[in-house]
Structure 1
């Protein structure tokens, strides 16, 4: 159902269908994370995800999306690449910071999620820089959860951006050129979700809205540029970046993180956010 604000509001049964797609994405990212190792190419990671998604009877959301058509199942962004890195022949090294974004369609419904991790193994990277990388990753993940916990019925949409920005503070650069989005029968739907505060507080949040929350942080300057492949977004100063994302449903009785294996129950409870009974009974 489309509201007057052009947002697609879902019924609980439709959210259950989105949960099925979300679990496929969660399993694909889990498999990619387990495979992450020095010597693999970003294309190798793409094949891991593609085989799992297709094997579950789903379709990769990203493949052939947009103009020019996106040519892969995953976005794999390495070090200074923020988002939309195209998998290929790039060989991963121990200590690389790798962001992996994945989407899948099942029965017409989308799931979308991302994580960032350091390639394991012995690395020649300076220990202080390595510590900064891990802090960057951890801060980005926590800022995502703070944004998710701000999704409360009756609040305005920009409460999410306020929560993200307040948590990040001045510790890292907060990318403003890209943000989250509505999700459902299309991967990208209204509304666009900013990761920072604005005067426009946006529409009121109400039951049935489903959002992909995805902050992106940088170790240095948050300004970005698009590379010659017309997809990959990188930092202008060469600093490393991190990206985390979950797809989330707001229901009458609370939240359900559709792309988290536990439905988000553990982290939402820690943050004191309302958890839907669908998340605890699934």
Structure 2
């Protein structure tokens, strides 16, 4: 695509064919889009504008899906090192998800060609795993969602690749960006309690990020989750947003702020999926699926003793 104006040094490389899934052996029917590429049930659902309070049985299924999502994340993250391709990371995610009787939720969602999203350096989100080997000093975000027994568990984390010894100053800037993105998520989570407004989370995120000279992406947001991959509420990550609703015990949703080194603006590659920073600066993101409780918050995808350090 010689006429496309790339914003940074990253370029797409060869993408392997979509990985297959068996026709039998699932704990429940696959999401409709697994075969068709179109999430018709999700788009037609009343839960796109109605906030769902889940039953104890539904929450139990959410916890199981999120626990598996965490295990898959930890397994994929353990393989990150210079020379490993993001396509190899996709293979691990795909295989481990299927071996546990679950479906990799991103696969074929609106036609997405892979089983997880891998966003490297200036890629903000929805990066497609390909044949590019990771390099020392890269940062890579893994966005993993599994559908187990009909319920989705969604999380993502950004990891530093290698030691960064070839350019220590650039490495330290990357780690500072990652640290700020994680703090933004934690500050937003600290505001989650029954009665809190979803619209107020963005203020905590943007105030912290802007105070450190970073931009907060406005084009993507957190979301409700459960039997549907995406549903109400919308959870914007910037201040003065118009998100609707207040938190009640039993609600489940994600918070997933994307923090950029420079501008908050994004641009899409010609593949229609890969969103990158408009100025080529790097971007970092962290996400959890969580449930509101009577007293606060239950982080369903929380890290464990097996979770890899971010850097």
Alignment match, 2:222: 180
- Which residues of 2 match residues 125-274 of structure 1 at below 5 A? 125=167, 127-171=168-212, 172-198=214-240, 200=242, 202-261=244-303
Q: 2:82 aligns with which of 38, 43, 48?
A: 38
Change (3 A) 1:128 1:121: closer
Q: Write the distance in 1 (CA, Å) between the matches of 2:233 and 2:273.
A: 22
Q: Write the distance in 1 (CA, Å) between the matches of 2:227 and 2:237.
A: 23
Q: Write the distance in 2 (CA, Å) between the matches of 1:149 and 1:87.
A: 33
Gaps of 5+ in 1: 263-282
Deviation of 1:22 (Å): 0.5
**Could you say what secondary structure the match of 1:158 adopts?**
helix
Deviation of 1:199 (Å): 5.7
Change (3 A) 1:182 1:4: closer
Q: Scaled by the length of structure 1, what TM-score is found?
A: 0.87
**Could you say what secondary structure the match of 1:62 adopts?**
coil
Native 8 Å contact 1:79 1:97 kept in 2: yes
Deviation of 1:2 (Å): 7.0
Q: Scaled by the length of structure 2, what TM-score is found?
A: 0.79
Deviation of 1:33 (Å): 1.3
**Could you say what secondary structure the match of 1:160 adopts?**
helix
Deviation of 1:162 (Å): 1.7
Q: 1:124 aligns with which of 166, 171, 179?
A: 166
Gaps of 5+ in 2: 1-44, 305-311
**Could you say what secondary structure the match of 2:69 adopts?**
helix
Native 8 Å contact 2:47 2:231 kept in 1: no
Deviation of 1:4 (Å): 11
Deviations, residues 30-56 of structure 1 (Å, cap 9, x unaligned): 111111011110000111111111111
Alignment match, 1:61: 105
- Cα RMSD, aligned residues only: 1.8
Deviation of 1:12 (Å): 2.3
Whether 1:49 and 2:102 are equivalent positions in the alignment is no
Change (3 A) 1:4 1:103: closer
Q: Which deviates more, 164-173 or 223-232?
A: 164-173
Q: Write the distance in 2 (CA, Å) between the matches of 1:259 and 1:4.
A: 23
Change (3 A) 1:187 1:24: same
Q: Write the distance in 1 (CA, Å) between the matches of 2:144 and 2:48.
A: 30
Alignment match, 1:19: 63
Whether 1:77 and 2:119 are equivalent positions in the alignment is yes
